[in-house]
Amino acid sequence: MLNSRLKVKLGNWLKERGPWSPIVISSRMRLARNLKDFFFPHHADEKQLAEISSLIRDVVINDPALKKFTFISLEELPFLDRLMLLEEHLISPDFSAGGKGRAVVLSRDGRVSIMVNEEDHLRIQSLLPGLQLLETRRMVDEIDERLSLHLDFAFLENWGYLTACPTNVGTAMRASVMMHLPGLVMTKRMREVVDFLSEGGTAVRGLFGEGSRALGNLYQISNQVTLGESEEEIITELSEVCREVVKEEEKARKTLLREDEMEFLDRVYRALGTLSYAKKVSFEEAIELLSTLRLGVETGLLPPFDGIDLNELMFRVRPAHLQNFIKKSLPEEEQDIARASLIKERLNLQGG
């Protein structure tokens, strides 16, 4: 039996649609803030980290405007809970490993999180379905303002917010958009798109951020520049870029249908065949296959799966989500078996 300490409702946003869905899956906004008069986390000792954490905890607990937030020390959080938060993109891979003085602040609806003592003292983040960077920014701004009533943030007139890593100095803002781009991958145009975006100062990363693979054709597109441009400019530019990418993805899907529908159909149906018959499926393979089904449904090659949200299923099959869902901690091979059953059951697939 799992003993989760997360009392928040995760992943609710997944069932919702937003602007430019389904190609744009989600928008994420992150602000980095640091407390004046404290070393950055990687230079602070345990005592200082505890002090920082405690300061933030007091604010969260005592400000009635923040009552929808829960403060949880990472040390109190079981491994599987941390993995859940990582899989939801609410904390970073490094942060999910735990560490002294680290804590996470979560909104009850699972859309806002604050990592305490990650690279910076505070990393405030919000998450929404579809392309809605302005709204995510409004959400983090609200919390930022509220926190700044109680906490003294390091800020220099001509520099902006100070951050542990100089690439974040300035707005200390990172906006990032998760996109599903199987069409560009299958037409072998992704490399070209990545190069084009990089030249324009936009970073393209895999499913779990820096250095991770673009599992399931899921890409995170985010701003690189934080200095010398206003937040508004950054958001406008990034939104524009993402809309362009959506158009390219749509074009790629049309190309696939027009130029080699049989090849395309074959891929989609093979994915369906494997998910219908496999007795065990790894997380990575599940994401890949569901990505292909999703593309099949969106292009009309497959009928939609009744009442089943493929977005949501792409989360449910992640290791911690899967174990949380079936309420059992399992070794990896048994997870793969449970995953195969779960997918078959949810999609009502016949076979095997």
Q: Which of 274, 305, 326, 347 lies at the binding interface for its own copies (CB under 8 A)? A: 274
Closest C-alpha among 233, 131, 123, 111 to residue 180 = 131
Q: How far is the CB of 136 from its own copies (least distance, A)?
A: 39
Interface with its own copies, residue 293, by CB under 8 A: no
Given a contact cutoff of 8 angstroms between Cβ atoms, the answer to whether 337 and 11 are in contact is no
Nearest residue (CB) to its own copies, 8 versus 256: 256
What is the per-residue DSSP string for 277-294? H-S---HHHHHHHHHHHH
Q: How far is CA 263 from CA 186, 190, 248, in A?
A: 10, 19, 20
Q: Which of 75, 230, 254, 277 lies at the binding interface for its own copies (CB under 8 A)? A: 277
Interface with its own copies, residue 332, by CB under 8 A: no
Given a contact cutoff of 8 angstroms between Cβ atoms, the answer to whether 102 and 118 are in contact is yes
Nearest residue (CB) to its own copies, 166 versus 273: 273
Residue ranges in 231-270 that form contacts with its own copies under rule CB under 8 A: 262-263, 265-266, 269-270
Interface with its own copies, residue 16, by CB under 8 A: no
* 298 Cβ contact list (under 8 Å, min separation 6): 22, 253
The tally of CA atoms less than 13 A away on the side-chain side of residue 73 is 14
CB crowding 39-54: b at 16 or more within 10 Å, else e? ebbeebeeeebbebbe
Backbone torsions φ then ψ of 324, nearest 5 degrees = -65, -40
Interface with its own copies, residue 307, by CB under 8 A: no
Identify each DSSP E strand in 155-298 by its residue range. Answer: 155-156, 160-161, 173-180, 202-205, 218-223
Nearest residue (CB) to its own copies, 159 versus 277: 277
Work out the number of other CB atoms within 10 angstroms of the CB of residue 21.
Answer: 16
Q: Which of 62, 279, 341, 348 lies at the binding interface for its own copies (CB under 8 A)? A: 279
Nearest residue (CB) to its own copies, 149 versus 262: 262
Interface with its own copies, residue 305, by CB under 8 A: no
Contacts with its own copies, 154-193, as mask; x by CB under 8 A: ----------------------------------------
Q: How far is the CB of 342 from its own copies (least distance, A)?
A: 15
Interface with its own copies, residue 352, by CB under 8 A: yes
Q: Which of 21, 48, 276, 329 lies at the binding interface for its own copies (CB under 8 A)? A: 276
Residues that bind its own copies (CB under 8 A): 262-263, 265-266, 269-270, 272-280, 333, 337, 350-352
